[in-house]
Structure 1
Amino acid sequence: MPAMPPASYGQGGPTCFDKMKMGFTIGFCVGMASGALFGGFSALRYGFRGRELVTSVGKMMVQGGGTFGTFMAIGTGIRC
């Protein structure tokens, strides 16, 4: 049977800040996807076409991603 390798003391799990960054990243991606869906449908309903459509959907995506990412980071920080 092979011997166990010696324990290395510098390697641990992710820190709380790393978990919060990951929570923000996941929340930002989910918020961007929902912003694309809801923003796209509402912009098409308002009759936007071309440049107006792209800018309004882009703004909705960034706003949704930032908001949801912030709340996911806060929730992850509370769980740490």
Structure 2
Amino acid sequence: MPVPSSAYGQQHGAPSCFDRVKIGFMMGFCVGMASGAIFGGFSALRYGLRGRELFSTVGKTMVQGGGTFGTFMAIGTGIRC
């Protein structure tokens, strides 16, 4: 019976350091997007934005928050490797 390969492509099943950094970035990006949606949405509504301006502002805030937090999570994960 053949032995199934792991999801990370290695024999022992442990993710490489680069895989860990990628996973850390993705986790941080998701958390940053969520916090950007919450804080960006509240601030845009407080400024009185509606419609297209609201979605544009919230989208930009989400991407910025996701990129920032994802980068810091990737750096932190890379330090721990």
Whether the TM-score (by the shorter chain) exceeds 0.5 is: yes
CA distance, structure 1, for counterparts of residue 47 and residue 17 of structure 2 = 43
**Structure 1 spans left out of the alignment, 5+ residues:** none
Is residue 20 from structure 1 mapped to residue 21 from structure 2 by the alignment?
A: yes
Equivalent residue number for residue 48 of structure 1: 49
SS in structure 2 opposite 1:41?
A: helix
Deviation at 1:62, TM superposition (A): 0.2
**In the alignment, residue 76 of structure 2 is paired with which amino acid?**
G
Amino acid aligned to 1:48: L
Question: What is the aligned partner in structure 2 of residue 11 from structure 1?
Answer: 11
Q: TM-score, normalised by structure 1?
A: 0.87
1:14 maps to amino acid: P
List, as ranges, runs of 4+ consecutive aligned residues in structure 1 with deviation greater than 6 Å: none
How many pairs align? 72
